Amino acid sequence: MIRIFYGTIFIFFIVFLTSSCKKKAFDDYFARPDSLAQPIYQQLQAKGRFTNILACIDKAGFKTTLGTAGFWTFFAPNDDAFKAYFQATGISGVAAMDSVTAASIVSFCLVQNSYRKDQLVQFQTSKGPTPNDSYRRKTAYYDFTYKDPSHSGVVVANNRNGNYVVNDNNNKYIPYFIDGYFNVQGLTATDYTSFFPGSTYTGFNVAGARVINADIPAENGIIHEIDKVITPIPNIEQYITNNPQYSEFRKLLDMVAIYSYNATLTRRYNILTGKSDSVFIKSYPTSLAFAPNNESYLNLTQTDAQELAWTIAIPTNTALLAWEKEILVNLGSFKNAPSSVLIDLINSFMWNTTVWPKDILTTKNFQVQSSSFASGDITDRQVLSNGNFYGTKLAHQANVFRSVYGKVYLDPKYSLMNRIFYESDLKISTSNPAFKYTVFMMSDAEVKNLGYNYDNDRIQWSYLDPATPTATPTLSLNQDRLTRIASISVVNTPNGEFDNLSGTGVGETFNGEYVKFINNKVYGSGNVVDGTSVSIDSSKLAYNGKVYYTKGLLHFAENSETMAKSIKRLGTSTDPATLARFSYFYQYLIGSASLYNVTVDGSGVVTSENIIGVPVGTFYTVFIPTNAAITQAVKDGLLPGNKTTGAPNFTNSTQTTAEQQAVANFILYHILNKNTVAQDGKKSGVYGTLLNDVSGNTKTVTVFYSNPADPNTMEVRDARYVSGQGSTVTLAGSNNLANRTLIHSINKVLNFN
């Protein structure tokens, strides 16, 4: 037994000895290496020049966080930085600082994850980092609740555009400026010093501070030593709120701000504070370019705020009020204006991307417009926690307000016209400063006189025939007709061709039709048909043209007004000069059995009159030779008639088959197919006619100006043109309006053979 006992003791001793050796080997293997850097807190202690930030860490309760595990980047201000900070703020030292201030300094300089200098410029994506594409990182700092001057409750800032994500604290971002990013973006030290005029760009700056020692390793992250204390940077909304010179813009934001009670945040707030206040999320409508209190950018990829932020250019109160006065001259106030006016005004100052000083005048804003102010108008530049800020002494003028469209948009007397513009391409085009227009205003009263109105209850246009005012309006989509009506009131005038209406002139409208003016009276094709005109009451200049306030409305000829009827109107005029220009052509037309078609009712009344093969609704140009020119063509044997006297033979039944074909070819060759060409010096070149040769190929004519500045030099040349023998267009008898058609008088018959 004794042997067994001692044997057992010996075995236990051997096992114990062996186990102790193994544990020592294990501990030695996994022990902390002597070369491993200490955690951030201990590293700062060891350096000996960070006593103040260490005191802040202690007071803020971050010692455990930075002294043990984790994965952080810490921008650590040294003691010299704090010395300057205390002098600037009047604080005697960290001991006199409250814990909230200490925590804000620590947490705003504390970035989630560990980044060396070369890693900070890498934009993190799901596909891997993109080099030199980042200038911001999310910090540990965030504002939870705050008191908003425009709301009585406790407020939490929105962390998305249009909605709120409960698990996102809307952490602020800290900006840094590193050579790699600057080089790729084409930035220089001037871009940096524009925002931080008291600082020097060194190639690695954090906000207004210089990094004087980068990439200090720690067990739980990286330390970058900086020479300035950085406190949390305000976001755009906070900066505007805290600067009285932008209070008028703050009022605009207040008009569109939305406060929504949130039960989850209310419970959280009540538990944390012991208070019973309700918590409201402050958001902005999704129609705004961005929410100025949103720190998270779009957050589409979780990291997009590393490379992008908002930009805003806000005018001072004086500049903004002056611009508002112009915008509201007819509306009185934003309360009387369509809600879109206020949204458009705010959006006009916004960019949903980062814009640096070198690009602020050229980068297109949210409304796809470059700045209308100059570099010298910028008086305030700030890099804020959620974007770049520019304060200006001159308000940017949005195209939707300063353009000819703005005269429609900002006047309640033209609300129906504005709706038509908005529902078509007219708004975008007429607010584009690259194109010049003349607009004839269409008042609500004039539109209603045509029988049109808008039913707000049914969100639909209605029509009531003016001839039957007691009937029930019909609800229908009259968009095509309304757009056409509005389009002929918008004239392309790149050189101010309609700035003076005292003489005569013609202009192409937005939809390719034409209107003309004669001695301050304006006509559309419909006005010509019904014998009306539009007179001018007054006018106003806009950035991209001129608008006329009128009596009457420009309108188009209906499809019942065929080309044949328009030629008839000219060819049977009571005016001798007009007859001398058009009557022979009309007589040949109605005598052509192969082209002319007329329908007569039982009473002998003509119910329809048209040219066969010439459908209505297509664009045409008709060149009609004068009676004298046709007489000469008869003498030359081109057209049927007496070659000696030149008297035409219009009667189809007495013409030979060849002569009948000649008449048909003559008419078709003098009509341009699918093109309207005015005698205004703007269009020239080769155009196809309605006549085909024996092979089915379109026969063409050439429109030419010897001097485009002089419409009287317009010529039409046939395929057999001989120098000096083109047909001259007679201005006095030309530019006659018809249904999507122009009719001109020429002094020579084109050779159609």
Crossing angle of helices 657-669 and 576-590, rounded to 10°: 130
Average pLDDT (598-612) is 85
pLDDT at 20 (0 to 100): 53
* Residue 378 binned pLDDT confidence (cut-offs 50, 70, 90): very high
Residue 600 has pLDDT above 90, yes or no: no
Confidence check: pLDDT of 534 > 80: yes
Domain check: are 540 and 600 in the same one? no
Identify whether residues 489 and 447 lie together within a single domain.
yes
Query: Is 90 in the same domain as 190?
Result: yes
Task: Please tell me whether residue 503 adopts helix, strand or coil conformation.
Answer: coil
Q: Are residues 546 and 582 in the same domain?
A: no
pLDDT over 90 (residue 465): no
pLDDT of residue 722: 83
Q: Is residue 337 part of a domain?
A: no
pLDDT tens, position by position, 616-630: 989 999 999 999 999
Residue 648 belongs to some domain of the structure: yes
If asked whether residues 616 and 740 sit together in one domain, one would say yes
Report how far residue 28's alpha carbon sits from residue 18's, in angstroms, rounded to the nearest whole number: 15
Q: How confident is the model at residue 17 (pLDDT cuts 50, 70, 90)?
A: very low
pLDDT at position 16, please? 44
My answer on whether 531 and 580 are in the same domain is: no
327 within some domain: no
Q: For residue 328, tell me if it sits in a domain.
A: no
413 with 523, same domain: the answer is yes
Return d(Cα 29, Cα 516) in angstroms, integer.
96
pLDDT at 31 over 60: no
Residue 72 shares a structural domain with residue 117: yes
Claim to verify: residue 595 and residue 540 sit in the same structural domain? no
37 three-class SS: coil
12 assigned to some structural domain = no
Which pLDDT score is estimated for 456? 85
Identify whether 105 is part of a domain. yes
3-state SS string over 353-384?
A: CCCCHHHCCCCCCCCCCCCCCCHHHEEEEEEE
Judge if 53 and 114 occupy the same domain: yes
The residue-averaged pLDDT of 586-591 equals 97
Question: Residue 601: what pLDDT?
Answer: 81
Taking Cα atoms as reference points, which of 120, 359, 350, 372 lies closest to residue 221? 120
3-state secondary structure 597-659: EEEECCCCCEEEEEECCCCCCCCEEEEEECHHHHHHHHHCCCCCECCCCCCECCCHHHCCHHH
Please indicate, yes or no, if residue 134 is contained in any of the structural domains.
Answer: yes
- 540 and 582 part of one domain: no
What is the spatial distance between Cα 393 and Cα 332, in angstroms, rounded to a whole number? 24
pLDDT score for 450: 87
Last residue of a domain, one of 551, 583, 612: 551
Model confidence at 34, pLDDT cuts 50, 70, 90, reads low
Q: Which one of 497, 518, 551 terminates a domain?
A: 551
Last residue of a domain, one of 525, 551, 577: 551
pLDDT class for 32, splitting at 50, 70, 90? low
Q: Tell me the pLDDT band of 19, cut-offs 50, 70 and 90.
A: low
Q: Is residue 378 part of a domain?
A: no
pLDDT confidence bin for 602, thresholds 50/70/90: confident
Q: Determine the 3-state secondary structure of 86 from DSSP.
A: helix
Task: Report the Cα 243 to chain-centroid distance in Å.
Answer: 29
Domain with residue 133: its CATH number is 2.30.180.10
Q: Pick the closest to residue 150 from 232, 256, 262, 268 (CA basis).
A: 256
Same domain, 628 and 690: yes
Structural domains counted in the chain: 3
Task: Give me the mean pLDDT over the 651-675 stretch.
Answer: 97
pLDDT tens readout for residues 285-331: 999 999 999 999 999 888 999 999 999 999 999 999 999 999 999 99
Q: Average pLDDT of the chain?
A: 93
Token duo for residue 29: 């293997």
pLDDT tens digits along 70-95: 999 999 999 999 999 999 999 999 99
* Residue 741 DSSP label: E
Domain span at residue 501?
A: 403-462+470-551
